[in-house]
Amino acid sequence: MTIAVSPDAHPTLVLNADYRPLSYYPLSLWSWQDAIKAVFLDRVNIVSEYEAAVRSPSFEMKLPSVVSLKTYIKPARHPAFTRFNVFLRDRFECQYCGTREDLTFDHLIPRSKGGLTLWDNVITACSPCNLRKANKSCREIDMWPRQMPFRPTVQDLHNNGRLFPPNYLHESWLDFLYWDTELEP
C-alpha cells in the first residue's frame, strides 16, 4: 500500500508555521503553481527548492519543494472520517481474518439494523469476510473484530502511517517527515 505522488509534477510540501506538515493524511502537497501564487501573496516562506525553474524573459524562479505558512493554523486533533483513514487506523488489514487483500468496509452493527457509518461502527474487512458476515451482528454469526472500531486521533494515524509511506518523497521533504527509511524497523 502506497500513496501515489508524481515526482514529475514537482509538488510542494506545505508546512505549518511550526515547520510540521499541515496534514499527513493526505500529505499536504500543493501544485508548484499554487505554491508560487502563495509566495507572491506573501502567505508562505520558501524553505527549499527544486533545481527546476519557471522562466520568462524578465523572470526566473526555482520551483519551491517545501514552503511554510506565515500564519500558524491550529491542527485538527481528529482526522477526517475517510475510507483511507479507516484503512489506516486498521493498518490495511481485515479485522476478522487479517488479510491485506481485497479490502472493503463492514458495518459492525449492520446498516439494516440501524448501524451508522461512523468511526465506531465501520471496520476494514475483506470481501469474503464481509460476504460471510452479511447483515448479521457479531453475536449472531460469532465473528468478532480483532480491534473494536474507535475514533482515532491524528497521533494514532501518525503511528500507523509510519508503516505506509508514500511512493515518492523528495529528499528536501525528509527533514520534515517521519517517513525516514532509516527509521523503519
Binding residues vs Zn ion (CB under 5 A): 94, 96-97, 126, 129
Shortest distance, position 139 Cβ to Zn ion, whole Å? 18
For Zn ion, the closer of residues 104 and 172 by Cβ is: 104
Question: Which runs of consecutive H residues, i.e. helices, occur in 46-152?
Answer: 83-89, 127-133, 138-141
- How many C-beta atoms surround the C-beta of residue 153 within 10 A? 13
Q: Is residue 15 classed as helix, strand or coil in its secondary structure? A: strand
Shortest distance, position 178 Cβ to Zn ion, whole Å? 30
For Zn ion, the closer of residues 28 and 127 by Cβ is: 127
Shortest distance, position 127 Cβ to Zn ion, whole Å? 8
For Zn ion, the closer of residues 102 and 175 by Cβ is: 102
Q: What is the DSSP letter of 24?
A: B
The dihedral through the CA atoms of 2, 67, 180, 23 has a sign that is negative
For Zn ion, the closer of residues 14 and 94 by Cβ is: 94
Shortest distance, position 29 Cβ to Zn ion, whole Å? 32
For Zn ion, the closer of residues 68 and 95 by Cβ is: 95
Residues 6+ positions from 114 with CB-CB distance below 8 Å: none
Question: Which runs of consecutive H residues, i.e. helices, occur in the chain?
Answer: 32-40, 83-89, 127-133, 138-141, 154-161
Beta strands in 17-126 (DSSP E): 29-30, 44-56, 59-69, 103-107, 122-126
At 156, list the grid cell. Answer: 494514532
Shortest distance, position 99 Cβ to Zn ion, whole Å? 5
